[in-house]
Amino acid sequence: MLIAQLTDPHIAGPGHLLCRRIDTASLLAGAVAAVNALNTPPDVVLLTGDLVDAGRPEEYGLLREILQPLKAPVLPVPGNHDERGALAAAFPELACLPQGGAFVQYAVEDWPVRLIGLDTVVPGAVGGAMCAERLAWLDATLSERPERPTVLFLHHPPFRTGIVHMDGFGFDGMDAFAAVVRRHPQVERALCGHMHRPIQRRWAGTLASTAPSTAHQVALDLSEGGPACFVMEPPGFQLHLWREDTGLVSHTVAIGRWDGPHPFQPPT
């Protein structure tokens, strides 16, 4: 099974540039083309939040238009820039998405790896949370299929990254979330977005990771007073390959045109 993870496209309204310079629509279109061009097509594409920038219906309309060429099905979860109701309305064909503004949490059983989407959004806040209600749902859902390898996918990473201005927004319920996951060893990975960078950490008896944005990246500054800045490093996405003999193996893919591939040859 091959999972593609696209995150943080931050689609602005038609004709608008994010921060007056980032053409997020064209960048996401490039990501879609890159996924479709893979030698091994993915079985599913996970969208790990901040799909649009302001949660407006017209932004979701443009998002759907850009995603339409994807050859694999998509499964979205919201980020702090998303609006739950508008997100669910944008994907009416996905019966797994709850309507009416409820938490966007669901399990999908269609592949060898069970996929569980989680909602970490706190309306009006940048940081994330897993409240008692969401944790109870997760604990019960994981308990239903303890034998199935499982991937969680969510927007906010449940760990501190060392990028201080991003960590400062917080994640309420982080320790309780880790305690629930630790009780369920079938969890192979927690796949996250939000950080606009690839980051990994051992967490709750498994691994948690973030993926690069399909648009702009958060500047890598690990100093205590590092400013909140973005950089136009190459956009990217991640591929997560599941095999019985290896478990889940992840690859980060930079989007763009690169010289090669060339065969390895002895030096001249």
- Per domain, the residue ranges of the chain are 2-254
Q: In what order do the strands lie in the sheet with 236-243?
A: 74-77, 44-48, 2-6, 236-243, 247-254
pLDDT at 111: 97
pLDDT (0 to 100) of residue 99: 77
Instruction: Identify whether the C-beta of residue 240 lies closer than 8 Å to the C-beta of residue 191.
Output: yes
Neighbours of 183 (CB within 10 A): 13
Query: Based on C-alpha coordinates, what's the Rg of the chain?
Result: 18
The fourth-level CATH superfamily of domain 2-254 is: Metallo-dependent phosphatases (3.60.21.10)
Q: What pLDDT score does 102 carry?
A: 85
Q: Positive or negative, the Cα torsion across 209, 163, 7, 52?
A: positive
Query: Is residue 38 a contact partner of residue 9, using CB atoms and an 8 Å limit?
Result: no
Please report, in angstroms and rounded to a whole number, the separation of the first and last CA atoms in the chain: 41
Residue 13 pLDDT:
87
User: What is the full per-residue pLDDT of the chain (268 aa) written as tens digits?
Assistant: 999 999 999 999 888 999 999 999 999 999 999 999 999 999 999 999 999 999 999 999 999 999 999 999 999 999 999 999 999 999 999 988 987 778 999 999 999 999 999 999 999 999 999 999 999 999 999 999 999 999 999 999 999 999 999 999 999 999 999 999 999 999 999 999 999 999 999 999 999 999 999 999 999 999 998 999 999 999 999 999 999 999 999 999 999 999 999 999 988 8
Closest CA to 138 of 77, 196, 202: 77
pTM above 0.95, yes or no: yes
